[in-house]
Amino acid sequence: MREPMLGIDRLIDRIDALDNPSVVGLDPSLSMMPEALAREMYAEYGETPRAVAEMFFLYNRAILDAVADVVPAVKPQIAMYERYGIDGLAAYVRTCEYAADKGLYVIGDIKRGDIASTAEAYAAHLAGAEIGSARVDLWREDAITVNPYFGTDGIEPFARACRETGKSVFVLVKTSNASSAELQDLEVEEVPANVALRGKSAMGDVARAFAGLANMPLYEQVANYVEVWGNDLVGERGYSAVGAVVGATHPEVGRALRRAHPRMFFLVPGYGAQGASARDLAGFFDAGGRGCIVNSSRGVIAAWQRSVDGETVTQPDAGRALDTVAAAARGAAQAMAAALRQAR
| Contacts to a copy of itself from residues 171-210, by CB under 8 A | 172, 175-192, 194-198
Q: Does 133 bind a copy of itself (CB under 8 A)?
A: yes
Active site residue 200: no
Q: Which is nearer to a copy of itself, 139 or 239 (CB)?
A: 139
Contact between residue 54 and residue 44 where contact means Cβ atoms under 8 Å apart:
yes
User: DSSP for 69-101?
Assistant: TT-SEEEEBHHHHHTTHHHHHHHHHHHHHHHHH
Which one of 65-73, 213-221, 314-322, 330-338 is the stretch in contact with a copy of itself (CB under 8 A)? 213-221
DSSP letter (8 states) at residue 33: S
Site for a copy of itself in 269-308 (CB under 8 A): none
Shortest reach from residue 28's CB to a copy of itself, in Å? 10
Shortest reach from residue 306's CB to a copy of itself, in Å? 18
β-bridge pairing 168-174 and 143-146? parallel
Q: Which of 111, 167, 174, 200 is catalytic?
A: 111
Q: Which is nearer to a copy of itself, 255 or 341 (CB)?
A: 255
User: DSSP for 196-264?
Assistant: ---TTS-HHHHHHHHTT--SEEHHHHHHHHHHHHTTT-B-TTS-BSEEEEE-TT-HHHHHHHHHH-TT-
Q: Which is nearer to a copy of itself, 97 or 232 (CB)?
A: 97
Q: How many CB atoms lie within 10 A of CB 135?
A: 13
Shortest reach from residue 127's CB to a copy of itself, in Å? 10
Shortest reach from residue 140's CB to a copy of itself, in Å? 10
Under DSSP, is residue 172 helix (H, G, I), strand (E, B) or coil?
Answer: strand
Burial class of residue 154 in the structure, from the number of CB atoms within 10 Å of its CB (0-12 exposed, 13-18 middle, 19+ buried): buried
Q: Which is nearer to a copy of itself, 116 or 327 (CB)?
A: 116
Which one of 1-9, 120-128, 303-311, 320-328 is the stretch in contact with a copy of itself (CB under 8 A)? 120-128
Site for a copy of itself in 215-274 (CB under 8 A): 215, 218, 221-222, 225
Site for a copy of itself in 79-98 (CB under 8 A): 79-80, 82-86, 88-90, 93
Site string for a copy of itself, 147-166 (x = CB under 8 A): xxxxxxxx------------
% helix, strand, coil for the chain, step of 5: 50, 15, 35
At residue 206's C-alpha, the angle toward residues 180 and 210, to 5°, is 65
Q: Give dist(CA 128, CA 261) in Å, integer.
A: 30
Q: Which is nearer to a copy of itself, 65 or 153 (CB)?
A: 153
Site for a copy of itself in 97-116 (CB under 8 A): 111-116
Site string for a copy of itself, 26-65 (x = CB under 8 A): -x-xx-----------x----xxx-xx-------------
Under DSSP, is residue 299 helix (H, G, I), strand (E, B) or coil?
Answer: helix
Shortest reach from residue 202's CB to a copy of itself, in Å? 14
Active site (catalytic) residues: 111
